[in-house]
Amino acid sequence: MPENRELTYVEALREGLRQVMEKDESVFLLGEDIGVYNGAFGVTAGLLEEFGEERVRDTPISEAAIAGACLGASLTGMRPVGEIMFMDFVALSLEQLALQAAKVRFMFGGKTKAPFVLRMPAGSGTGAAAQHSQSLENWLVHVPGLKVVMPSNAYDAKGLLIASIYDDNPVIFVEHKLLYGTKSHVPEESYEVPLSQSRVVREGSDLTIIATSLMVHRSLEAAVQLSEEGIEIEIIDPRTLNPLDDETIIKSVVKTSKALIIHEAVGTGGYGGEIAARIASSEAFDYLEAPIRRLTGLDIPIPYNRTLEYHAVPQVENIVVEARKLSRGEY
Half-sphere exposure of 152 (CA within 13 A, CB side): 24
Active site residue 132: yes
Q: Which entry of 11, 63, 83, 175 is annotated as an active-site residue?
A: 63
Q: Which entry of 32, 83, 132, 274 is annotated as an active-site residue?
A: 132
Residues 6 or more apart whose CB falls under 8 angstroms from that of 309 comprise 124, 125, 127, 133, 302, 303
What is the C-alpha to C-alpha distance for residues 47 and 91, in angstroms, rounded to an integer?
A: 27
Residues 6 or more apart whose CB falls under 8 angstroms from that of 253 comprise 208, 259, 279, 284, 287, 288
List beta partners, residue 282.
Answer: none
What is the C-alpha to C-alpha distance for residues 78 and 26, in angstroms, rounded to an integer?
A: 5
Active site residue 63: yes
What is the C-alpha to C-alpha distance for residues 248 and 210, in angstroms, rounded to an integer?
A: 10
What is the C-alpha to C-alpha distance for residues 310 and 125, in angstroms, rounded to an integer?
A: 7
> How many angstroms from the chain centroid is the CA of residue 47?
23
Q: Active-site residues: which are they?
A: 63, 132
